[in-house]
Amino acid sequence: MIRQVASRFLTRPTAAAAVVTIRRPFSTEVTDSSSGDTAFVEAWKKVVPNIDPPRTPSQYMQPRPPTPSTLPTKLTVNFVLPYASELSGKEVDMVIVPATTGQMGILPGHVPTIAELKPGLLSVHEGNEVKKYFISSGFAFVHPNSYADILAVEAVPLDKVDPAEVQAGLNKFTQKLSSASTELEKAEAQIGVDVHSALNFALTG
């Protein structure tokens, strides 16, 4: 039994040193800062004192750091998709996002922005390495504390895109656009053409 206790002591400091989210089966980490929205809790307790008030999303989130006084050197990027968090809290030098008004570069200390994105190329620059993704539409938020949140519905790393398929898709949708009759068909074909030509451009450019 002493050996078990000793082994537990030995493993615990190493687990704390390595910042690894240990995935326990059937259980998840939920950071719970129990201070809820006080006004909401008050209003709740007045009407329904017997039931505990429900939690709100801000209780499950780590609070973001405040705006620093000096310009930070790195940009912290969160790139999230519905089925994965591609990058979370990664410190990079620059990100270029495909906003509807054109490619937009985001550096640390960028003015706070809400940008709507169109399908296009997203590139993450970290030192000398550049990671490129092709994303579908989404949104990008740049906060005053040099945090950038990029949300997209779909994203593929650019090296996984097959140029031949892209060309074939573009031809198919251009054909559909010319032969479309109803508004709905025209809109669908137009979307296909837009996405495929953006893909083409991303691959070549």
Partner 1 sequence: MAMAALRREGRRLVPLVSSPRPINAIQSTLAPAEEQVGLGVRSISTQIVRNRMKSVKNIQKITKAMKMVAASKLRAIQVRAENSRGLWQPFTALLGDTPSVSVKKNVIVTISSDKGLCGGINSTSVKISRALHKINSGPDAECKYVVLGEKAKAQLIRDSKKHIELTMTELQKNFLNYTQVSVIADDILKNVEYDALRIVFNKFQSVVSFLPTTATVLSPEVVERESEAGGKIGSLDSYEIEGGETKSEVLQNLSEFQFSCVMFNGVLENACSEQGARMSAMDSSSRNAGDMLDRLTLTYNRTRQASITTELTEIISGASALEG
147 touches partner 1 by CB under 8 A = yes
| Nearer Cβ to partner 1 (134/147) | 147
99 touches partner 1 by CB under 8 A = yes
User: Distance between CA atoms of 144 and 44, rounded to whole angstroms?
Assistant: 33
167 touches partner 1 by CB under 8 A = no
Other CB atoms within 10 Å distance of the CB of residue 6: 10
Within 13 Å of residue 135, how many CA atoms lie on the same side as its CB?
29
Query: For the CA atoms of the chain, what is the radius of gyration?
Result: 23
Q: Which of 24-63 are b and which e, b meaning 16 or more Cβ less than 10 Å from the residue's Cβ?
A: eeeeeeeeeeeeeeeeeeeebeeeeeeeeeeeeeeeeeee
User: Distance between CA atoms of 60 and 54, rounded to whole angstroms?
Assistant: 12
3-state secondary structure of 60: helix
The dihedral of CA 139, 115, 141, 39: what is its sign? negative
- As measured in angstroms, the least distance from the Cβ of 179 to partner 1 is 26
For residue 137, what are its two tokens? 């539409």
User: Which of 4, 27, 34, 70 lies at the binding interface for partner 1 (CB under 8 A)?
Assistant: 27
- As measured in angstroms, the least distance from the Cβ of 25 to partner 1 is 7
5 touches partner 1 by CB under 8 A = no
- As measured in angstroms, the least distance from the Cβ of 5 to partner 1 is 26
81 touches partner 1 by CB under 8 A = yes
Spell out, one character per residue from 101 to 140, where the chain touches partner 1: x when CB under 8 A holds, - when not.
x--x------xxxxxxxx-------------------xx-
**Binding positions for partner 1, 43-72, rule CB under 8 A:** 43-44, 47-48, 51-52, 54-58, 60-61, 64
Judged by the rule CB under 8 A, the positions of this chain that interact with partner 1 are 23, 25-28, 30, 37, 39-40, 43-44, 47-48, 51-52, 54-58, 60-61, 64, 78, 80-85, 88, 99-101, 104, 111-118, 138-139, 141, 143-144, 147, 149, 151, 153
